[in-house]
A and B are shown apart, each in its own frame.
Chain A
């Protein structure tokens, strides 16, 4: 026991407590600052997924080294991919962890959505396949929410509607969203034209090809497409044959994927 001499320093605790209390609004102010990216605050990342990345990843996670962890997990994704089989399924959790940890990692979102909608789709039981495609859509949409200024995920989403689902009604607005970004690739406009072609909206398709040529007079694809359609539209028989060909091709793909069949497309003019 001591007397009272040692207590003379305790006055410091009062201002310390005051500062601690004052730090609460400071903390709130940091979180609400527009420059503070909330997505970087540690979400409840599935530690089981992180464990797939090995002990180092798990320890780094607990130590707050998220950049290191997301990169280690990314390398693990590559390993699982080459392993195949059960590796495909393990990729799902790990990719989810990476996206949650590093929400501006575009490649991760892109890979995640593609993996669910295309790869897992194949391995999954038939009755579950639509669910996995829907998962892919939701992944892209979530990634877009975090990265609205990048064209990549819009493009991926549009391609999913276009190629996987053959849902040109939804694909067209998605392609158009992609086109709003100045660095979007030139072929996006081509894809819009193809969407119109596949839904037998030939007028709109030709108009789109003309826009492509206007944007880039050296666009050989657009030039060739316009030439083609000039020939088709000049001959009613050729037009009819083309329409049938598109219908057969589209419905063939839809049938194999248990997608709704395409109705007789409306006629031109």
Chain B
């Protein structure tokens, strides 16, 4: 599979006009994103995510290293024709309506006439703004701006979609709608680069994740690679007496009682035995789970190590 996005030693240092040491925003980033992949770039504010995206879009120039899209330089017009970009907090031209904005951008892509109209109608329907097409953008809510932002990013049916903080400022319903759209695009085989500080969102949407912290790529891989396998089984049971708890603890389980229930944490290989003990002593199983650490937990561990 071809690499759609390639970054080799990509570095960005922000210096003031008068020089000085500068701020290292991105440090020697080496990353490749394959065709059809949905890649999530995560990290807290100031980690370098936006810097990375701006370098790919040609809005910033690298201090060192290079970035390529579709095997070409990022400012190549052929690359721009294959690219869709949804900015973080989309601001568009107040004096235009939703439809006029799409028409403006469509003209920049060379879309004309019936094809242009068809595409605009499709996209407005897709993002649920068909009825507000003539409303001026200055009256759009935050969520509506986000949706028109996605629509303009899809005008040219891009092979690569770059999305910055996809659900920023959206209510749960709006966020869910956008996520569904992203998943649909993913299903269509588009390459998607997603930047977000909402780790659970990235975990849901992305095939691979890159974790940025203070300009450095701390980890990169699939969700499975990044998240350790669940190492414990947690059994929640009712009606356990003290002797039963003691027997469970002998098995090596940790027991904690709360609200009339007992939470038994045990190694997977002891789980079957623990269940048998509980049921044998007349206890009632309430729940049995194998919780996996979330990306957030993994990330917090990484950051804690860094700080230490």
Contact = CB atoms under 8 A, between A and B. Distances in A.
Interface of A: 1-3, 5-6, 8
A8 B58 CA distance: 13
B62 A1 contact: no
A5 B62 contact: yes
Nearest to B61: A2
Nearest to B22: A1
Contact of A3 (B15, B22, B61, B75): B61
Interface of B: 13, 15, 22, 61-64, 73, 75
A247 B15 CA distance: 94
17 contacts: A1-B13, A1-B15, A1-B22, A1-B63, A2-B61, A2-B62, A2-B63, A3-B61, A3-B62, A3-B63, A3-B64, A5-B61, A5-B62, A5-B73, A5-B75, A6-B61, A8-B75
Contacts of A3: 61-64
B61 to A, nearest CB: 4
Nearest to B12: A2
Contacts of A1: 13, 15, 22, 63
Contacts, number: 17
State the 9 A-B residue pairs at the shortest beta-carbon distance, nearest first.
Answer: A2-B61, A6-B61, A5-B61, A3-B62, A1-B63, A1-B15, A2-B63, A3-B61, A3-B63
A8 B74 CA distance: 13
Contacts of A5: 61-62, 73, 75
Contacts of B15: 1
Contacts of B75: 5, 8
Which residue, of B13, B15, B62, has the highest number of chain A Cβ atoms within 10 A? Answer: B62
A12 to B, nearest CB: 15
B263 to A, nearest CB: 56
Contacts of B73: 5
B12 to A, nearest CB: 9
A1 B22 CA distance: 9
A6 B73 CA distance: 12
A193 B264 CA distance: 136
B164 to A, nearest CB: 21
Nearest to B64: A3
A84 B61 CA distance: 71
Contacts of B63: 1-3
A205 to B, nearest CB: 81
A5 B73 CA distance: 10
A159 B61 CA distance: 78
Nearest to B19: A1
A8 B64 CA distance: 16
B290 to A, nearest CB: 49
Contacts of A8: 75
A46 B228 CA distance: 86
A161 B180 CA distance: 100
B202 to A, nearest CB: 29
Contacts of B22: 1
Contacts of B62: 2-3, 5
A1 B62 CA distance: 8
Contacts of B61: 2-3, 5-6
A99 to B, nearest CB: 50
A144 B64 CA distance: 72
A6 to B, nearest CB: 4
Nearest to A8: B75
